[in-house]
């Protein structure tokens, strides 16, 4: 597991001060210096100014804020690129313009030396007994790993994915700093605290843990391969488990045509319309039948093989939907098709997370506007990508959190629709999905399914009736023994107490200043020696201290924007 420890408070020595100052310097250079003041880490301002690139700051002033966020993340390295990619799947946290910009993040890096790759392989595997040949030049290099073309002793051609040396330590250091910054944000920025940044960093750590463990990707590949076992139209590269480890993945090397390369597809004599249908079927089957899908089906991850076979690559990012979520999604689609605004609004609430239910009249009105913008037109004119974007805008506007897997499903559908439109401009993704939607609706109403659900409900009811008297006896026993406690949770109590502390400190400070003024005035009037030009020196010093403290208090109040 990734080791993430909380960094000590401001004023203590940071374990990773150089990296910390580098991160803050990049943020300052891209125009986010206000964070230093808001997060109350003024102690690091000198380090920030030393590491910040002032010339770069001048160049980026004309860029939009989302563009500057993307560029800053790219410069900060692999951990922050991965963070940006995660945030691009969280429309509940960021507006649409930030999501679109973060989707442009490219996970590329300079390759590390071939000698280091060989050393890693020799440490983990009996290299000479496994490999006949390995190409010295990588065929791909990313922030976490790079891939080499190789041949096994069995003469099978493979692709070998090797993790970068020391990447785990780099990620752990960045996550520690990220966790500290998130803690400060949650403590000092009320608008950000709503989104629970500490919890987000912890979630991000879990995502990264899976990404840097290549056995997880191997499992995903095997699972998807089993789902399409017996389907000759779909292919997933085989995994060589015996040669794979958490830091090395050995898989079958596939040569095919990128699905976006129309010229090569036509030259090979392949059927573009058939490829369009098969590609759409692959995506729809994964989502609506298997409940486990390739979450990043962009053209680089889809190859075309002879006989119009679709090959899926890079299954590091996947999504999963349980039966209930799929049925709730179908209910949303059904209510939209039938133009039932109230039912559609309730279906959206089922599919999203929220702390407080939105004002329903306003929410239903926005849902009705959304439906009128898209659905009073022929189905073939409806574009999933635009519909998807408007759903995200609607959710963000009403403070609804779209779960990651729901977002990934919608994004996968929109991506596949774009690939399909490139192959066949007349293809109608909405109509093609209709049979899959009908199938799930019929499954929900199947007699066997309804009987099983009724039996389960009856079992739960019987269990409740049996357990309820025992629970009441236990409660009565706790009351008699005076051991029953009630825990009340007050929302935002910590911030309320912090605000009260600041108010009390200002009052105490004001009283101290007033006391200095009054005491100094009495000393001056009584002409307490020593005297300078007939004025008591002690009284003058007291007045001066009061003035300095008063200016300091006034500056602190103005800086917070509240007089």
Question: Is the distance from CB of 273 to CB of 424 less than 8 angstroms?
Answer: yes
- Alpha-carbon distance 413 to 407, whole Å? 10
Nearest to 423 by CA among 256, 266, 244: 266
Spell out the long-range contacts of 557-562 with Cβ–Cβ below 8 A and sequence spacing 24 or more.
557/506, 559/37
The residue behind tokens 């997880």 is: 216
The SS3 of residue 276 is: helix
Q: Which of 174, 281, 296, 314 is catalytic?
A: 296
Cα 292 to Cα 303, 306, 320: the distances in Å are 20, 26, 4
Distance of CA 529 to the CA centre of its chain: 69
- Token code pair at residue 161: 């994915």
* CA angle 113–117–123, rounded 5-degree value: 140
Instruction: State phi, psi for 479 to the nearest 5 degrees.
Output: -65, -45
Q: Does 530 sit behind a cis peptide bond, omega within 30 degrees of 0 on the bond before it?
A: yes
- Alpha-carbon distance 240 to 243, whole Å? 6
Question: Is the distance from CB of 283 to CB of 314 less than 8 angstroms?
Answer: no
Question: What HEC string does 209-259 produce?
Answer: HHHCCHHHHHHHHHHHHHHCCCCCCEECCCECHHHCECCEEEEECCCCEEC
- Alpha-carbon distance 365 to 242, whole Å? 57
Question: Is the distance from CB of 93 to CB of 87 less than 8 angstroms?
Answer: yes
Beta bridge partners of 532: 535
The SS3 of residue 376 is: coil
- Token code pair at residue 67: 């563009």
Question: Is the distance from CB of 185 to CB of 200 less than 8 angstroms?
Answer: no
Nearest to 375 by CA among 385, 387, 363: 387
Q: Pairing between strand 157-163 and 145-152?
A: antiparallel
Residue 422: enclosing H or E segment and its boundaries?
helix 404-423
Alpha helices in 42-194 (DSSP H): 45-51, 54-59, 65-76, 78-87, 96-102, 114-124, 127-130, 167-188, 190-193
Nearest to 200 by CA among 90, 309, 333: 90
Annotated active-site residue 296? The verdict is yes
- Alpha-carbon distance 481 to 203, whole Å? 41
Cα 500 to Cα 187, 259, 287, 493: the distances in Å are 14, 61, 51, 10
Give me the active site residues, please: 296
């Amino acid at each position: 597991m990734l080791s993430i420890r909380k960094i000590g408070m401001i004023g203590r020595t940071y374990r990773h001060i150089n990296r910390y100052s580098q991160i803050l310097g990049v943020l300052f250079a891209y125009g986010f210096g206000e964070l230093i003041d808001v997060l109350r880490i003024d102690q690091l301002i000198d380090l920030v100014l030393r590491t910040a690139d002032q010339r770069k700051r001048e160049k980026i002033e004309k860029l939009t804020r989302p563009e500057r966020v993307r560029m800053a993340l790219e410069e900060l390295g692999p951990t922050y690129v991965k963070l940006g990619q995660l945030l691009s799947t969280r429309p509940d946290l960021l507006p649409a313009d930030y999501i679109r910009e973060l989707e442009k993040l490219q996970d590329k890096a300079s390759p590390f030396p071939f000698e280091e790759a060989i050393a890693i392989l020799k440490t983990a595997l009996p290299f000479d007994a496994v490999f006949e040949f390995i190409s010295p030049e990588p065929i791909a290099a990313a922030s976490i790993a790079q891939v080499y073309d190789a041949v096994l002793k069995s003469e099978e051609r493979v692709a070998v994915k090797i993790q970068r040396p020391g990447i785990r330590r780099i990620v752990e250091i960045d996550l520690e700093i990220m966790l500290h910054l998130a803690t400060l944000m949650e403590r000092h920025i009320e608008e950000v605290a709503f989104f629970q940044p500490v919890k987000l960093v912890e979630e991000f750590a879990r995502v990264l843990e899976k990404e840097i463990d290549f056995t997880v990707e191997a499992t995903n590949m095997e699972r998807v391969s089993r789902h399409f076992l017996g389907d000759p139209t779909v292919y997933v590269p085989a995994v060589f488990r015996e040669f794979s480890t958490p830091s090395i993945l050995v898989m079958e090397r596939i040569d095919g045509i990128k699905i976006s390369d129309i010229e090569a597809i036509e030259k090979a004599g392949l059927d573009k319309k058939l490829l369009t249908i098969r590609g759409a079927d692959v995506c729809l089957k994964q989502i609506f039948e298997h409940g486990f899908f390739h979450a990043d089906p962009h053209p680089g991850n889809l190859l075309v093989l002879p006989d119009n076979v679709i090959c899926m690559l890079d299954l590091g990012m996947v999504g999963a939907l349980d039966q209930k979520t799929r049925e709730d999604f179908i209910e949303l689609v059904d209510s939209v098709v039938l133009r039932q605004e109230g039912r559609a609004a309730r279906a959206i609430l089922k599919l999203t997370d929220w702390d407080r239910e939105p004002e329903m009249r306003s929410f239903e009105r926005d849902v009705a506007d959304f439906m009128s913008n898209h659905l009073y037109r022929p189905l073939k004119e409806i574009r999933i990508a635009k519909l998807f974007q408007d759903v995200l805008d609607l959710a963000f506007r009403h403070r609804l959190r779209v779960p990651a897997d729901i977002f990934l499903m919608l994004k996968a559908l929109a991506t596949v629709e774009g690939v399909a439109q490139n192959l066949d401009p007349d293809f109608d993704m909405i109509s093609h999905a209709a049979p899959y939607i009908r199938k799930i609706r019929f499954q929900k109403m199947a007699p066997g399914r309804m009987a099983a659900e009724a039996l389960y409900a009856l079992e739960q009811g019987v269990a409740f009736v049996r357990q309820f008297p025992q629970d009441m006896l236990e409660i009565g026993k706790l009351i008699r023994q005076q051991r029953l406690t009630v825990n009340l949770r007050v929302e935002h109590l910590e911030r309320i107490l912090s605000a009260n502390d600041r108010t009390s400190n200002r009052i105490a400070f004001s009283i101290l200043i007033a006391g200095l003024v009054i005491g100094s005035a009495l000393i001056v009037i009584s002409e307490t020696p020593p005297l300078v030009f007939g004025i008591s020196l002690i009284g003058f010093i007291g007045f001066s201290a009061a003035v300095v403290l008063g200016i300091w208090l006034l500056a602190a109040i103005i800086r917070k924007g509240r007089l």
